[in-house]
Amino acid sequence: SSLTANGPLWDYSSAGLPRNAWLFNASNPGSVLDLSSMQDMNAGFNDVNGNVRAHTVRVGEGAVIDLSGLVSVTAPARAEDLLVFSLNDATSTIDLSSLSTIGGGGQTVFDLFRGSSLLLPSLSNVNNARFRVRSASVLTANGSLWDYRSAGLPGRFTLFLATDPGSVLDLSSLQNLDDGFNDANGSVSLHTVTASGGGTIDLSGLVSVIAPARAEDRLVFDLADATSTITLTRLASIDGGGQTVFSLIGGSHQSLPSLSSVNNGRFFVSGASTLAANGPLWDYSSASLPGDFTLFSATNPGSVLDLSSLQNLDTGFNDNDGNASAHVLVAADGARIDLSGLVSVTAPARAEDVLELFVADNGAMDVSRLRSITGSGEVAFVISRGGELRIGDLAAAAATTNIRLNDPDTTLDAAGSLLLERAGTTSPVSLWTTPDATVKIGKDFAFDHTDEAQLYLESGVIHFTGTSPQFVEVGGVDLSTATPTSLNFGFGQMIVGSDTQATTVYLRDAIDNGNGHVLCGPGEEALYLLGLQAEPANPAKNINGLRILGGSTLVLNGIPMYTEQDGALVDVRTWFPPGQSVISYDLNNSNGFIALGSSPETDADADGVFDKDDNCVVVANGPNVPFPWLNPVIDPNQRDTNGDGYGNICDPDLDGNGIVQAADLANLKRRFFTRDPDADLDGNGFVQAGDLAIMKRRFFQPPGPSCVAP
């Protein structure tokens, strides 16, 4: 049969049919419904209740519906109601070649089954539409660039679906997806984009995504298996008040090569799946997600979350209550998270809240470029059950940072230096190891703690794995060979070098840890190696305190060191025969050397000037300022313009009365924007904000300390 209404242009409305209704239906071979002169279709009925109603345009069994002149469609008024375009098989056709605009408060749904196909080449503006292709069907909307909004659909909806082998949803000219709905309640609502069972969704032109408006709601990109694909090669920006979630299971793969800015994104891979966002450098923030959230998760062997081009991670949320909340990164069960490009981390805004990096069950996480940890909350590195966390040159100071190795056979691999600072009395850095856990260090290890409970290493293994020279800070009180007390900055076992890599490790006491350090002279603090716990089931376990491997050398540098050897505490210095300064060391399956060295020249601030010659002993102002990203000192030349023995950088005492106070501040303000050399504390040639910041940090303190001042 045929029906033809293709004369003058005309409009259509079903707004007065508040019930389920078939609007247009064509079936059987040769049947044609020619409505090609219809230009506007209004299905905006309002049934004034929460029941789901549908108006349907259906074609099947070889029939044709010609809507080639249709330009705009208006969906039902209510979000739960639908206008459905349904194609049932490969021999049937709906012509919508001019359709440009889809609007209305409800849903416009395109359902394709059994190999059917639909072209939408003219789309430019789409609101609240849903596209679903099944059983080798193909929907193509790849003409002019167009935008999509589902902000009027509060609740749970699948927006885009491609399922079954050969099913393709080609939305490659869609450039902006706005899912910013607001359901005005605290229940979790989600919108999904799902490819499964061999289906493909092409979003290769998509540039930006906006998540739901509320923090608890989600837009989810869901890949269910290795044969399914969602193409997002141009996606650069993810934003919105809610969450954008990428969920990969069943060996699926997702590439996000263009990401540049991500707010409130969450990434999950499991079942040997891989997600890669390793293109240009990009930044991430979860600062508008108050509450408990897993941000990144990789689980199961073979799963990889490659976020190696992420450089700044901001989890500075403020939940405005006193309850403890956590944002978590998880690598577990043999999976790996690559954050090797991460440089800085911002902790939550409130002291009780935490960012936790959790590695367990042979999982691995790489944060080997992390340099800076800031914020008021806590950052916790938790390593359990054989997990491995790789870090680099980490100088943790500005946020509460806790590193916990919870189980034997767990590893913290510090490829660079591990420099731990207290960050004030209210936000300490702590490092805690369970028995037999290992901390590997590729460069130096230093700490400025005076509270031994914050640095508990006496049952773990500290393994120096780098190349010469390596330095280790010594901070314990010297009790000689008396029965050692717990909590004395000791190690369980120290390993120097490996069978394939020789190194030289130097002991030094550059920092006053409150146990006898002398600021302007040789150190007097000590190192205790207390040994490991014996295991009757493992009699071959090496439990003694010191191992030196591969021809490596340990240099005592005049510092007292005591090690547990065969059940007794031994002063290592007593092993040296008179007149001999280097001895072979072959105990405990070792193959190396111990050298007495000389009384050490210490350099507390590691600026290249020994303490005895340093006019700012604990503020770096020498030629080798360490970690310049953390020590932005402009003047590294020991500048002392008033000749009082205190370098300018640690001498804001402008009136010379021995204390920095209000009179010095007044002096500085009078010299603002001048070139006064004494008030130019940072040495940049002008008196300005940087000098004021230095003075504020030293208020009510004396200048220095200095080892060359009178």
Contacts of 72 (CB under 8 A, 6+ apart): 39, 40, 41, 99, 100, 101, 102, 103
Residue 364: both structure tokens together: 């691995």
One-letter amino acid at 63 equals A
Can you give the three-state secondary structure of 450-474, one letter per residue?
CCHHHEEEEEEEEEECCCCCEEEEC
Contacts of 693 (CB under 8 A, 6+ apart): none
Verify cis geometry, omega within 30 degrees of 0, for the bond prior to 165.
no
What would the mean pLDDT of 551-561 be, rounded to a whole number? 93
Quote the CA–CA distance of 619 and 615 in Å, as a whole number: 9
Q: How far is CA 65 from CA 43, 139, 141, 269, 646, in A?
A: 17, 16, 18, 43, 89
Question: Do residues 86 and 56 make contact, with C-beta atoms less than 8 angstroms apart?
Answer: yes
Taking only the tens place, the pLDDT of each residue in 160-172 is 999 999 999 999 9
Taking only the tens place, the pLDDT of each residue in 361-413 is 999 999 998 888 888 888 999 999 999 999 877 766 556 788 999 888 899 99
Closest CA to 334 of 356, 365, 295: 365
The confidence band for 314, taking pLDDT boundaries of 50, 70 and 90, is very high
Closest CA to 371 of 389, 356, 357, 392: 392
Quote the CA–CA distance of 436 and 587 in Å, as a whole number: 19
Domains of the chain by start residue, with CATH: 1-122 (no CATH), 444-602 (no CATH), 614-710 (1.10.1330.10)
Residue 556: both structure tokens together: 């005592």
For the chain, how many residues are written? 710
How confident is the model at residue 629, as a pLDDT? 41
Least confident of 288-302, 417-431, 468-482, 662-676: 417-431
* 155 vs 511, residue with greater confidence: 155
Instruction: Indicate if the pLDDT at residue 69 is higher than 90.
Output: yes
Taking only the tens place, the pLDDT of each residue in 590-601 is 789 999 986 556
Quote the CA–CA distance of 304 and 277 in Å, as a whole number: 11
Quote the CA–CA distance of 574 and 571 in Å, as a whole number: 6
Mean confidence (pLDDT) of the chain: 91
Taking only the tens place, the pLDDT of each residue in 161-220 is 999 999 999 999 999 999 999 988 878 999 999 999 999 999 999 999 999 999 999 999
Closest CA to 162 of 133, 141, 185, 137: 133
Q: How far is CA 644 from CA 73, 437, 635, 708, in A?
A: 83, 49, 18, 9
Instruction: Indicate if the pLDDT at residue 448 is higher than 70.
Output: yes
* 533 vs 337, residue with greater confidence: 337
Taking only the tens place, the pLDDT of each residue in 105-144 is 999 999 999 999 999 999 999 999 999 999 999 999 998 8
Quote the CA–CA distance of 208 and 518 in Å, as a whole number: 59
The confidence band for 674, taking pLDDT boundaries of 50, 70 and 90, is very high
Q: Where are the beta strands (DSSP E) in 61-167?
A: 64-66, 72-74, 82-87, 93-95, 101-103, 107-112, 117-119, 125-127, 129-134, 138-140, 146-149, 157-163
Quote the CA–CA distance of 362 and 409 in Å, as a whole number: 9
Listed ranges 290-294, 297-301, 381-385, 467-471; the one with the highest mean pLDDT: 297-301
Distance of CA 633 to the CA centre of its chain: 28
Instruction: Indicate if the pLDDT at residue 467 is higher than 70.
Output: yes
Taking only the tens place, the pLDDT of each residue in 569-588 is 999 999 999 999 999 998 87
Quote the CA–CA distance of 236 and 256 in Å, as a whole number: 8
- Pairing mode, if any, of strands 168-170 and 138-140? parallel
CA-based angle 307:209:290, to the nearest 5? 70
What would the mean pLDDT of 686-698 be, rounded to a whole number? 90
Q: How far is CA 17 from CA 133, 385, 551, in A?
A: 28, 63, 89
What would the mean pLDDT of 425-453 be, rounded to a whole number? 83
Quote the CA–CA distance of 136 and 132 in Å, as a whole number: 11
User: Could you identify the residue written with the tokens 């072979």?
Assistant: 584
DSSP string, 481-550: TSPPPSSSS-EEEEEES-SS---EEEEE--S--SSS--TTS----BEEE------TT-TT---SSEEE-T
